[in-house]
Amino acid sequence: MINVIGDIIIDEYWQGRTTRLSPEAPVPIVELGAKHISLGGAANVYSNIKSLTKEVNLYGMVEEQYREHFDDTSHLIDVPKMPVKIRVLSDSHYVTRIDDEEYMNNNELIDHFVLSSSSWKRDNIFFISDYAKGTIAHPDAIINYLNIHEQKIIVDPKLSLDHYKKVWILKPNRKEFEEYAGKSSNIKGIQQKAFQVLKELEIENLIITLSEDGVLWVSKDKWKHIPTKAKSVYDVTGAGDTFGAVLAWCLDQRCGIEESLVTANKAAAKAVSKQGTYVITQKDLR
C-alpha cells in the first residue's frame, strides 16, 4: 500500500484566444473560452499512482467546494482555504499565473493520521509531498511517528533538507539540494556533497533530480547518474510529482531502486511533453 500525505493544490486552467491588446495597458486581452481543473501537489502524486494501482491513499486538506474532484475523501480534512493556482493561456501560450492561497494549519489531519495507524502493516510506503503550504507543518514529528511504525518514507522536500532526517528516500531537486549543501559546477561535485549529506541526515538514499541532466542516486555504498529521457519539453508543471509517483509505485512493486529510477525518468519525460499536469498510464511506461 502507498500512502500519500502532503499539500493538495488545485490547478485551474483558463484558456482562450487573443485578438487585440487592452487600450488600458499594453497587455493582451484573453477572450475566455474554457476552464478546467487539475489536481496538483500531493493530489497529483496520488492521481498518478492511482492510475497505476488501486492500492493508494491520500491524506490532505481541501476546501468543501473542491471535494467533488476527489474519488476518495475518507482521509481528507476540510479547511476554509486551500492553495489554488490559476494559469491563464491564450492560443496555447502561457500568459500569467495567479496564486490564491493561505498557509494551511490544521491539527485534525495529524490526529486522523495517527488514528488510522492501527490498520497499517509494516513496510508500507509513505510519500510525503511537502510544498510548504502548511499540511506538513512539522515533518520531523511525522517522520518519527512513521519510523516507530516501521514504514518506508519517501520525501519530496520544500523546506531545508535537515527537516527530513532518517528517511528511506529523500528526493530534492538540484536547487533544493544546493540550497542546503552548496553549489557544485558538475555532477561529480554534487555526488561528493551528496555522500556527506547522506551521512549527516542519516538517510538511506538520496535521489537528486537534475532537470535536463537527469537524476543522481546516492546510497551508502554506491551512486548512479541516469541521464534524462526527455526529447522535447513543453511544460514542466508537475513533472517532479510524476517522477515521484512512478518511483513510489515501482518500489511498491518490489523493483530495485535503479530500475525504478529509469522508469520514473521515462515517466517524467512523458509528463514534460504535455501541457499542464499529466497523469501517467501503464501504456506510457511500456
Q: Which residues are catalytic?
A: 241
> Exposed, middle or buried: residue 4 (CB in 10 Å: 0-12, 13-18, 19+)?
buried
Over the range 204-239, which residues count as b (16 or more CB within 10 Å of their CB) and which as e? ebbbbbbbebbbbbbbeeebebbebbbeeeebebbb
- H-run or E-run covering 93: strand 93-100
Q: Grid coordinates representing 193?
A: 556533497
Among 109, 125, 133, 117, which residue's Cα sits nearest to residue 171? 125
CA gap 37, 69 in Å, rounded: 8
Taking the alpha carbons of 247, 54, 276, 86 in that order, is the dihedral positive or negative?
negative
- Dist. CA 37–CA 41, nearest whole Å: 13
Q: Which residues pair with 76 in a beta bridge?
A: 60
Provide the H-helix boundaries in 182-283: 187-201, 239-252, 257-272
Please give the radius of gyration of the chain, using alpha carbons only, rounded to the nearest integer: 19
Three cell numbers written together for 112: 486522523
Cβ burial, residue 101 (10 Å; 0-12/13-18/19+): middle
